[in-house]
Amino acid sequence: MSIRFDDQVVIVTGAANGLGKSHALEFARRGARVVVNDLGGSRDGSGGSGEAAESVVSDIEQAGGEAMANGANVADYAQVETMVKEALERWGRVDVLVNNAGILRDKTFAKMELDDFKRVLDVHLMGAVNCTKAVWETMRAQEYGRIVMTSSSSGIYGNFGQTNYSAAKMGLIGFMNTLAIEGQKYAIKVNSLAPIAATRMTEDLLPPNVLGLLQPEAVTPAVIFMASEGAPTRQIIAAGAGVFARVVVQETPGVFLPPENRDAEHVAAAWEQIANTDGQSELTAGGDQTMKFLQKAAAELGIRLD
């Protein structure tokens, strides 16, 4: 079955280069009207220019599609509001938001200035919050929406020299988890991408022969799927080099310690059993963990919960 976005309006942030450009072009190829958002700054977020975004719009229009360029800084909510307002005035709706904009200011935590830490959070995490907030009521009112966060293996697993970036990217997972729950009754689905691709963000981090395998176009299919009508929700899809995987956070069964043994020494003594992954499971809401713990404790103590 072909996935199409005819008559849908898609906003892609950071869409002038790399992954964002690839996403924007593919959405347009599949019939979407695309807002190509990009501040046009350098990799560390400094500067700004609208030329690259206009170039992407030109490519889309030359191929017969519809698009508009926008230079809003995603870290500035007022600018984001204006961007969404312009899209609504021109096309009347917003169906898909892809939060892709980002910057890098890598240093070890010991050497990192707090301003650089905050700036990365402002763009990656608060930028996604700002854009999502600006489209949320529209999506609720039309009872349809698809939102894709751009997380990272650095956030999920950690990466040397990227405490700021990692914190922002893992924050997006928590943001997605609760948004997906709150959006369910309005047919708003929220997912996250964890990509690896050859972009200006990674060009000096990987050797040329590896970069050749990591074209952005090999990642975009995951975004198209997560933005489609038949998309799942509350999922993390890792993608790169044509490989696609689901990332799952799981929890071990755990160990109950009775009151007389409820101290750090007994936690240490039971650690091997606590950390045993046999029988671990995926939880789908914070309340699931609460119920799991209460049920386990009640069973050990012979208490009925009903």
Tell me what the mean pLDDT of segment 278-289 comes to. 93
Do residues 113 and 130 share a domain? Answer: yes
DSSP 3-state of 177: helix
Residue 4 lies in a domain: no
Residue 2 lies in a domain: no
Q: For residue 283, give its domain range.
A: 250-301
The DSSP code sequence of 75-127 is: T-HHHHHHHHHHHHHHHS---EEEE-------B-TTT--HHHHHHHHHHHHHH
Do residues 23 and 85 make contact, with C-beta atoms less than 8 angstroms apart?
A: no
Residue 1 lies in a domain: no
Residue 204 lies in a domain: yes
| Residue 185 pLDDT grade (very low, low, confident, very high; cuts 50, 70, 90) | very high
What CATH number is given to the structural domain containing 162?
Answer: 3.40.50.720
Angle at alpha carbon of residue 21, lines to 15 and 22, rounded to 5°: 140
DSSP 3-state of 130: helix
Q: What is the pLDDT of residue 200?
A: 59
Do residues 160 and 291 share a domain? Answer: no
Tell which residue, 177, 207, 134, has the closest CA to residue 282. Answer: 177
Q: What is the pLDDT of residue 282?
A: 94
Do residues 235 and 264 share a domain? Answer: no
Cα–Cα distance, 97 to 247 (Å, whole number): 21
Do residues 167 and 288 share a domain? Answer: no
pLDDT digits (tens, 9 = 90+) for 64-77: 999 999 999 999 99
pLDDT digits (tens, 9 = 90+) for 142-152: 999 999 999 99
Do residues 58 and 202 share a domain? Answer: yes
- Quote the mean pLDDT of the chain: 93
| Residue 305 pLDDT grade (very low, low, confident, very high; cuts 50, 70, 90) | confident
Q: What is the pLDDT of residue 47?
A: 47
Do residues 77 and 133 make contact, with C-beta atoms less than 8 angstroms apart?
A: yes
Residue 158 confidence (pLDDT) above 70 = yes
Do residues 164 and 186 share a domain? Answer: yes
Residue 202 lies in a domain: yes
Q: What is the pLDDT of residue 251?
A: 97
Do residues 235 and 261 share a domain? Answer: no
- Catalytic member of 77, 144, 157, 165: 165
Tell me what the mean pLDDT of segment 182-207 comes to. 84
Kind plus residue range of the DSSP H or E element containing 208? helix 208-211
Domain boundary among 205, 229, 247: 247
Domain boundary among 226, 247, 268: 247
Q: What is the pLDDT of residue 137?
A: 98
Tell which residue, 171, 10, 21, 176, has the closest CA to residue 83. Answer: 10
Residue 3 lies in a domain: no
| Residue 49 pLDDT grade (very low, low, confident, very high; cuts 50, 70, 90) | low
Kind plus residue range of the DSSP H or E element containing 193? strand 188-195
Q: What does each C-alpha distance from 293 to 12, 114, 160, 177 come to in angstroms?
A: 41, 38, 34, 20
Residue 201 confidence (pLDDT) above 70 = no
Number of domain units in the chain: 2
Do residues 124 and 193 share a domain? Answer: yes
Do residues 281 and 173 share a domain? Answer: no
Q: Which amino acid is at 249?
A: V
Do residues 266 and 226 share a domain? Answer: no
Do residues 169 and 121 share a domain? Answer: yes
DSSP 3-state of 57: helix
| Residue 40 pLDDT grade (very low, low, confident, very high; cuts 50, 70, 90) | confident
- b vs e for 199-214, b when ≥16 Cβ sit within 10 Å of the residue's Cβ? bebbeeeeeeeebeeb
Residue 165 known to be catalytic: yes
DSSP assignment, residue 63?
T
pLDDT digits (tens, 9 = 90+) for 254-283: 999 999 999 999 999 999 999 999 999 999
Q: What is the pLDDT of residue 41?
A: 59
Residue 48 confidence (pLDDT) above 70 = no
Residue 107 lies in a domain: yes
Domain boundary among 229, 247, 265: 247
Residue 306 lies in a domain: no
Cα–Cα distance, 19 to 221 (Å, whole number): 11
Residue 138 confidence (pLDDT) above 50 = yes
Do residues 96 and 225 share a domain? Answer: yes
Q: What is the pLDDT of residue 1?
A: 77
pLDDT digits (tens, 9 = 90+) for 11-23: 999 999 999 999 9
Q: What does each C-alpha distance from 171 to 9, 43, 58, 126, 183 come to in angstroms?
A: 26, 21, 34, 10, 18
| Residue 212 pLDDT grade (very low, low, confident, very high; cuts 50, 70, 90) | confident
Residue 243 confidence (pLDDT) above 50 = yes
pLDDT above 70 covers a percentage of the chain that reads 94
Bridge partners (DSSP) of residue 162 are 107
Tell me the whole-structure pTM to 2 decimals.
0.93
Tell me what the mean pLDDT of segment 23-43 comes to. 91
Residue 160, Cβ density class (10 Å: 0-12 exposed, 13-18 middle, ≥19 buried):
exposed
